[in-house]
Structures are given as C-alpha cells and as structure tokens.
A = this chain, B = another copy of it.
C-alpha cells in the first residue's frame, strides 16, 4: 500500500453584501473549488461574509491558520465599500501600503483611460510585504500576502487570476473521482453504499439523488487519492448494484 500523501488544504472567504442579500449569485465558490481540485489542493471550508472589517478579519485569521492556503474574492475595487485590503492588513498586523509595482501597472493601464485618480490608486494598495497576481483584463492586480491569495469579485477576472496561479502552488496528490449513475432510489442502496465504503478505507462515496423522466435516480461519486483503490471501489459498487438488478451508468446520469 502506498504511503498516504500529504493533504494540502485551502479555504475560501467570499466577501460581499451582494451575495448575502441574494442580489448576486456567487460563481466563485464553484470556480475556485474546481480549480483547487486540479491543483491537488482540498477545499475544506468556505465562508461568505459581509463588507465589514471585523467579519473579514475573523474569517481570515481563523482560516489562514488552519489551512495551507486561503483565498478571498471580492472587495478590491476602487470604491468605499472595497475594504478587503485594509481588513486583511489588519488581520496580518501590517500596514496597507501603495505597492510600487501595482502603482506602475495602473499608471500604464490608465494612461489612455483618463489617468490614475485617487480612487483608482486604491487598487494599488496591498498589505505590506505582499506580491502581485497578474490581472490581464483590467490592470488592477490580485495580491498574495503570506498564504493568502486576494482576488477579484467579478468571476471572469478571478478566472484570469487563477489561471495566472495555475501550477505555482504546492499541492498533494489530486483527489480522483469516478461517478456511477443508477436509476434507483438512494434509500434502496444505502446499505450497499455503506458497506462498499467501509471495505475501501481510502475511498469516500457520496450519494446525490435526483428526479427525472418520472422516476428517481442517484449519482454515486467515489473519491480517493489512490487510483487503484478508486478503481476497486468503483468496481465493487458496480457489481453490487448489478447484484440488486440495477444497471450502473459509468460516468453518471
């Protein structure tokens, strides 16, 4: 049996009243979650907090201490409600400064766009000691401060920042998964799922019911960092479903 890999973990803090009011449907949780999977980093927890310094500081300090990486989205624009940089500086106990490199990027970007005003200069501020994450869309960079990655709230800009970070973070073995779909009520196979998972200690089986075509079905997702165990567990589950007279649809329904 291979040595279990070190598991790298991350958390995400989504900052924004607009998510908590229901006005904006968050897209960053799914985007960051999917990206982390590919990096071999496990997303352990997400918090959505208001545009309030205390709420941001609490979430950031709790989650950065117990994870390898912490990501934040939102609150890094030029307006008065963009307080993420100040709050994270406070959490880290360092001043917020104008980052010379960020200032140069923004000066260049706004040369043909009306100049670098005081409001725009806010987007060059970082916690002291931070480095930058490139933003090829609107100039204003993301920020890396210690193990914290500060990204935009607008999902397309965050996507570009994640792209810039791809392959740069140390991760463990990626969590592999296989999905089996079946037209069966999940309550009919609860015992099979439990027993199959127990027989394969490195695997977890998730069960996700749905309704369609007038009947009930479920997708079963088997996850493991160990490819051999994953294959064996998936095979046993398929065989078990067949023994109950059900056909398993590899890849899910």
Q: What residues make up the interface of A, taking CB atoms closer than 8 Å to B?
A: 14, 17-27, 29-37, 42-51, 55, 77-81, 113-114, 117-120, 122-123, 154, 175, 177, 185-191, 193-194, 197, 204-210, 221, 223
Contacts and interface: CB of A to CB of B under 8 A. Distances in A.
B23 A221 contact: yes
Contacts of A44: 20, 50, 55
A7 to B, nearest CB: 12
Contacts of A35: 22
Given A29-B48, A45-B47, A48-B29, A190 B78 contact: yes
Contacts of A118: 190-191
Contacts of A206: 17-18, 51, 81
A22 B33 contact: yes
Nearest to A42: B20
A26, A43, A119, A186 — which one has the most chain B CB atoms within 10 A of its CB? A119
Given A17-B204, A47-B45, A48-B29, A190 B22 contact: no
A149 B31 CA distance: 28
Contact of A207 (B34, B48, B81, B122): B81
B43 A20 contact: yes
22 contacts: A17-B206, A18-B206, A19-B29, A19-B33, A20-B42, A20-B43, A21-B37, A21-B223, A22-B31, A22-B33, A22-B35, A22-B36, A24-B208, A45-B50, A45-B55, A79-B193, A80-B205, A81-B204, A81-B207, A113-B185, A118-B191, A154-B210
